[in-house]
Structure 1
Amino acid sequence: MRHRGGFRCKPGMKQGSVSLSPIPTRIVSNEEFNPPPQTQAQARVESLITSLADEASRRLGVTRRDFLRTTGGMAAALLAMNAVFGRFFDVLDIEAVEAAAFAERQGDPYFIFDVQTHYVGAHYDPADAETKRKGAVTKQALLGLRRRVREAGLNPKLGGDKGTIDDLSWENFIKEVFLDSETAVGLISTPPGPYPQEAVVPPKEMAHIRDEINRVAGSQRMLAHGLATPQLGRADLDFMEMQAGTLRVDAWKCYTGSPPKGVEHGWWMDDEKLAYPMLEKAKKLGVPRVCVHKGLPLGPVEDYNHPRDLIKAAKDFPDIAFLVYHSGFKGAASVEETFTKTGEIPWTSEFCRMKRAEPGIRNIYMELGSTFGQLVITHPLICAHLLGQIIDAFGADHVLWGTDSIWYGTPQWQIEAFRRFQIPDQLIEKHRYRPLTRELKAQIFGLNAARVFGVDVHAKRNEIPKDYVSRIRMTYLEEGPKPSHRLYGWVVG
């Protein structure tokens, strides 16, 4: 058994896996909940992906593995999902064998700002010798690219760079997020620990990762969370001051259901004696963004992960943006049974009703990390209802893109799935949901987060194509991308 911030592994779980499929066919845990086993429908999707890939690879004269690394492999996976779950993805048969058709139907690129990314070090799976070998190769390749860019004067900030391998201990994060996906900007986060300084990735390290990536890139590609733990009282307020002043954190991450060591219960964001001093401190420090884990029950008492406390807190602190991580979704383990019986999505539907009763609240944002990734591969129908409900209750301009990667591997499969995802017409007509238009998806993919974090999207569109990471990606794509299709979280073996 392995315990980390309230997550406890059960027998039969394994850490990480490699899948031939470009889209996972089982739920992966981000270390904040116990993953359910693969469903029968997911097993059918997995089998159908293999059949479609075998047929297409023979037609194209390539191996199945190589085919599944292409856009054709992604199209085949989406086609398999449609065949099993119904037509939720806008994909055509021709896209599986014609790369030009896939590219044409993608349309212009989106600005993608992922507000929940996670770093996983090279040591994460030490038993995997092949991964360690590939990681060393990737380090040397990135160091070589960085040296050539430095010598060519393309990034003056690298003039004094020594290029040690230790500096690139997060190289796999760069590859998965910035080379194998279209992500433009990311916010680095962490699961909790017994104390903030002992989190899976402590604030000092999150800030270091952010600064190193931005330094090497020559532009702002990463932002970083700090941690706020109001149950620690005065010590927490002092720690917040250090994080804001020294680390220059961009937002606060809170876990209301995961107390520090020695405390047996969680806390509520609307607790005036406990939480309000922390919220006042966030305002005073000039970091008025509070990202709170809500949903995916974590900690000794799961009820503290319910988002109900955010209504009063948001009303009392209208100048603070509350980012509801996981959209308050309780998790996929029992969602089908509950939805079939009641038509409710546990916790999220209730929270949406609470928000509709308070139309004046405009500072709560619903984040999709893990929630979209879980539902879209397990229950696309419920995924459509969840998106429809949160857009209706909070507004399309208050839904944020997050993937919880790299627990789920590269964010690209989630990007492709959301790009092609559609709410069926019958649901739109019956429930008056908004269609997922390109303009609406652009808001969710990045424009909303850019507004919350004060990022100039126009400037970024001009800056990013010229930065070092984009140059690395261009070289990587020209030489032939090799996505790992690796999952880094926990699955049921």
Structure 2
Amino acid sequence: MHDSDPEGKRLPIKLDSASNGEFAPVALWPANIEANRLAHEAAATNAKRLGCSKRAFLTSSCGAASTLLAFNAANAAAGRAGGFFELPRDAAQDMQLARAQVGPVKQEFILDVQGHFIDTPKGNSKNAEVFLKDVFMDSDTDVMVLSFVPSARDAEPVTIQAADEVRRLVDKLEGTHRLLLHGRVNPNQPGDLEGMDELHEKWRISAWKTYTQYGPEGKGYFLHDDVGIRFIEKARALGVKNICIHKGLPFGQRSYEHSQCSDIGVVAKLYPDVNFLIYHSGFVTTVTEKAYDASGKSDGIDTLITSLRKNQVQPNSNVYAELGSTWRFLMRDPEQAAHALGKLIVACGENNVLWGTDSIWYGSPQDQIQAFRTFQISAELRERHGYPEMTPALRARIFGLNAAKVYGLTPTEVKRYTARDPVAQKRMAYLEKPDPHFRTYGPKTRREFLRVFDPAG
């Protein structure tokens, strides 16, 4: 019995217009609509061949493999061959082969450095349980960092107290290694710099999260401004030297310039002992990601690369590119994804690209994990632009080994613990009869987007 979607109307790999609330939803392109159509058609055919219901097929590893193969077909027909999901066609009907390709329960250490606790359709009393199911039951995520959205101090959509309650719930399941917390700081608004002491001492935060494009009256700031320097200096003084900076996904034109990355190389060079984690990596939905433009005039991810090069910040140093929402959006266009990932790995280094999903805005992050496990950059783009091959070793670094270094975790020790804690035991029992919902929670229309931070509006 599958309670969530008994007729199998939802695909396990989700292509839709959902946003994380920080950018206006973008409607699916014709190739995406065709990809979804082909995936449903293939699921019905393959389920019949295997003698099971469509829903049962879609919740299996074969369902995920079949969906990704259908996406390949649609993208190839649209001429988007620069990236693809690399898996054998037989995986659509061979369960053992499919599990080896997409999981669940593969052996990577997965540390999602950008998770969000949000209000879900289940209602406030069930929000924490929904979060736990989406992240730790329905995905292979081992550890997640809970992050925050920009807000005034007296109008936070999710407070540090609420996030800590989720951590406490996980702690009760002896999952003490599974959740880390950010502390939100916008130093250009009154009280935030002073509030850093409490975030450090009371809430045991592991990193700071800031939005340079946000501030009083819509005015942002740069990290090399006086207020940004005071923020960095205080972070160093408190001994929490991980600073996570939202770059890209601009909220609008008013402070668009502050969403770009010109300041990153400057402060990275000034403070080599501080880790700068660039959330979204400067990605902008309206900018088509191509090979890096050395003219320095391009937008999007190129603004980060230009800043690093201009300030001679070397790969694998103290600037990290994070993939939350960026990878999820680019799953719909694997050619753009190939350029984005290729550029970031070359510029920031194989040890400095971090896994993030921005879930649970997008529901369970398992579909992002399964897509990334199979994603490959075409040989043509690798040869032409010097992009790396997406090997299991490289994926493992991005999935969690890189972030473990930043957050001071030892993956083997954490994995050993999480493999047998009550969360893992509960999941193994759940996987005997899984019931993923394959839903997304983020706004899917402009009207919904405008209501995210103004529920009464």
Q: Same fold (TM over 0.5)?
A: yes
What SS is found at the alignment partner of 2:146? strand
Matching residue of 1:116? 114
Counterpart Cα distance in 2 of 1:328 and 1:210? 29
Matching residue of 1:229? 186
Q: 1:216-257 CA distances to partner (integer Å, 9 max, x unpaired)?
A: 234310001101111124x22221111111111111110111
Matching residue of 2:443? 490
Q: 1:75-123 CA distances to partner (integer Å, 9 max, x unpaired)?
A: 11111111011361112221111211112345852100000011123xx
Q: Which moved more, 1:419-428 or 1:87-96?
A: 87-96
Matching residue of 2:449? none
Aligned partners of 2:12 and 2:438 also within 8 Å: yes
Residues 1:99 and 2:118 are matched in the alignment:
no
Q: 2:300 aligns with which of 315, 337, 347?
A: 347
Amino acid at match of 1:290: I
Aligned partners of 1:329 and 1:345 also within 8 Å: no
Amino acid at match of 1:422: Q
Q: 2:170 aligns with which of 209, 213, 217?
A: 213
Residues 1:83 and 2:73 are matched in the alignment:
yes
Q: Which moved more, 1:357-366 or 1:239-248?
A: 357-366
1:250-399 matched pairs, under 5 angstroms = 250-260=206-216, 263-271=217-225, 273-298=226-251, 300-331=254-285, 333-335=286-288, 346-361=299-314, 362-377=317-332, 379-399=333-353
Structure 2 stretches of 5 or more lacking a match?
1-7, 447-457
Residues 282, 71 of structure 1: CA spacing in aligned structure 2 closer, same or farther, 3 A cutoff? same
Counterpart Cα distance in 1 of 2:386 and 2:290? 24
Shift, 1:197, TM fit: 4.7
Counterpart Cα distance in 1 of 2:245 and 2:296? 26
Q: 1:31-84 CA distances to partner (integer Å, 9 max, x unpaired)?
A: 001011111011100110111011011112222222111111101111111101
Counterpart Cα distance in 1 of 2:85 and 2:318? 31
Aligned partners of 1:257 and 1:267 also within 8 Å: yes
Shift, 1:21, TM fit: 0.9
Q: Name the TM-score, length of structure 2 as normaliser.
A: 0.88
What SS is found at the alignment partner of 2:331? helix
Shift, 1:488, TM fit: 0.5
Structure 1 stretches of 5 or more lacking a match?
1-17, 126-130, 136-165
Shift, 1:345, TM fit: 7.0
Residues 41, 468 of structure 1: CA spacing in aligned structure 2 closer, same or farther, 3 A cutoff? same
Amino acid at match of 1:241: D
| CA RMSD, Structure 1 to Structure 2 (Å) | 2.3
Aligned partners of 2:281 and 2:304 also within 8 Å: no
Amino acid at match of 1:350: T
Paired residues in the alignment total 427
Matching residue of 1:34? 24
Counterpart Cα distance in 2 of 1:218 and 1:375? 32
Residues 1:454 and 2:411 are matched in the alignment:
no
Residues 1:427 and 2:417 are matched in the alignment:
no
Aligned partners of 2:265 and 2:313 also within 8 Å: no
Counterpart Cα distance in 2 of 1:77 and 1:392? 30
Aligned partners of 1:207 and 1:249 also within 8 Å: no
Matching residue of 1:244? 200
Aligned partners of 2:269 and 2:311 also within 8 Å: no
Q: 1:373-407 CA distances to partner (integer Å, 9 max, x unpaired)?
A: 10112x11010011110111110101000000111
What SS is found at the alignment partner of 1:170? helix
Counterpart Cα distance in 1 of 2:255 and 2:9? 34
Residues 459, 208 of structure 1: CA spacing in aligned structure 2 closer, same or farther, 3 A cutoff? same
Shift, 1:422, TM fit: 0.4
Amino acid at match of 1:369: G
Amino acid at match of 2:187: P
Residues 30, 314 of structure 1: CA spacing in aligned structure 2 closer, same or farther, 3 A cutoff? same
Counterpart Cα distance in 2 of 1:77 and 1:24? 9
